Amino acid sequence: MLQPWLQALLGLGLLALVAFLANLVVKLVILRLFRRIVSAWGHVNGELLTPITDRLANIVPAIVVARGIGAVPYLPEALVTVSRNVASAFIVMTLALAIGAALNLLNARYQQRPDAALRPIKGYVQVVKILIYAGATILVAAALMEQSPLLLLSGLGAMAAVLMLVFKDTILSLVASVQLTSNDMLRVGDWIEMPQLNADGDVIDIALHTVKVQNWDKTITTIPTHRLITESYKNWRGMFDTGGRRIKRALLIDQTSVRFLSPVERATLKKFTLIDEYLDRKQVELERSNAALVEAGCDQVNTRRVTNIGTFRAYVLAYLKSHTAIAQHMTLLVRQLEPGPQGLPLEIYAFTNTTAWADYEAIQADIFDHLIAILPEFGLQLFQDPGGQDIARLISAERLRQLA
């Protein structure tokens, strides 16, 4: 006859062996079953599937221990009770972790959908996981203390204020996530600007608490989700949806170079086919207007004449209308802004037919290269502050004048 302590030791060894074998067998069965279930979803990352099967398989040995610990002879009742409570708590905790891993797998599979960027669910998944883990914590505490979970829940009422304070950011982020998603305010892949947080780049991740933005210098800016509701930011998605990117840049014209065109200059400018029609139409319009003034006995000074700045403005507009890289169905303006100390701004307001950054910059540079180069043909000059060479020429001229 074996000693009681030896029978207890052998019983524990046998229980551990049964639990180990049950874990091994169930792990293989569950793994195969899950692979068959998710095979209908297409390719699934094995790193996300393995935690689910491992944790579900760990439940079986815990059940074996909880049910079989009472059959081990000569064990103290207190040890049996504690073992059952710990096994029950372990089952609840493992099940909660398995559900969390399953939610990760669900989110990963959802992100493979083509419309996943339009309606990300990562924030909602995180909220569900928080609720599951909170419930599991209560059940684990109830199992260890052998108390009813309802009794523990009744005590949470007094802790409501504390919980609201602890989970303040989570609650704010949850509300913000719902608003961002339901109103389609933000998607993964959107280009946003938020200067107050030094964010200027593409959204690469939308989670419950944070939104990650990869800036153009490849740095990552993390933005609290609720700040995207309480503060303003610019989303460039509308530009990409319309397919055109705006050009809004001005040429600063030296106002001293603005003047009327002589008949010879008008004839010379008619060589430009882009403004040939404009000059003919303008000539007819002015002749009719001036003829009425002459008949009324007005002095010649009151007659209307063609200006070089007006002709150049008409040329720029015609040039843009004939440019193949400019979107003709969108707003197209060439306008004068208020003159100032830096000259007369002649602003171009147009849209390219592409939103690609490099192509956009090339088109914009090509347009202004041409306009700056052709500006002297109209007798106009660009304004710029005096540089070192200008000052040197003035000093040299003054010295020559003094020597003379």
Name which of 180, 54, 52 is nearest 105 in CA terms: 52
147 is written with which tokens? 């108390």
| Mean pLDDT computed over 26-43 | 66
Give the confidence band of 361 by pLDDT, cuts at 50, 70, 90. Answer: very high
C-alpha 322 chain-centroid distance: 35
338 pLDDT more than 80? yes
| Mean pLDDT computed over 217-222 | 94
306 pLDDT more than 90? no
Name which of 25, 106, 90 is nearest 55 in CA terms: 90
Give the confidence band of 359 by pLDDT, cuts at 50, 70, 90. Answer: very high
Give the confidence band of 295 by pLDDT, cuts at 50, 70, 90. Answer: low
Q: Which pLDDT score, from 0 to 100, does residue 59 have?
A: 81
Name which of 63, 59, 57, 72 is nearest 15 in CA terms: 72
Q: What's the rounded Cα separation, in Å, for the pair 298 and 346?
A: 33
Q: Which pLDDT score, from 0 to 100, does residue 325 have?
A: 94
| pLDDT tens sequence across 182-197 | 677 888 889 999 999 9
Highest mean pLDDT among 51-60, 123-132, 257-266: 257-266
| pLDDT tens sequence across 146-172 | 777 766 666 666 566 666 666 777 778
Q: Which pLDDT score, from 0 to 100, does residue 45 have?
A: 61
Q: Which pLDDT score, from 0 to 100, does residue 345 have?
A: 95
Taking the whole predicted model, whether its pTM rises above 0.75 is answered as no
| pLDDT tens sequence across 90-147 | 888 888 888 888 888 888 878 777 777 667 777 778 778 888 888 888 888 888 877 7
Q: Which pLDDT score, from 0 to 100, does residue 252 have?
A: 95
164: left (phi over 0), alpha (psi -120 to 50) or beta: alpha
Give the confidence band of 365 by pLDDT, cuts at 50, 70, 90. Answer: very high
Q: Which pLDDT score, from 0 to 100, does residue 123 have?
A: 73
Give the confidence band of 72 by pLDDT, cuts at 50, 70, 90. Answer: confident
Cβ contact 10:71 at 8 Å: no
Give the confidence band of 330 by pLDDT, cuts at 50, 70, 90. Answer: very high
Q: Which pLDDT score, from 0 to 100, does residue 85 have?
A: 83
C-alpha 28 chain-centroid distance: 42
335 pLDDT more than 70? yes
Q: What's the rounded Cα separation, in Å, for the pair 389 and 387?
A: 6
C-alpha 7 chain-centroid distance: 66
- Decide the pairing of beta strands 191-194 and 210-215: unpaired
246: left (phi over 0), alpha (psi -120 to 50) or beta: beta
Q: What's the rounded Cα separation, in Å, for the pair 138 and 154?
A: 11
319 against 209, higher pLDDT: 319
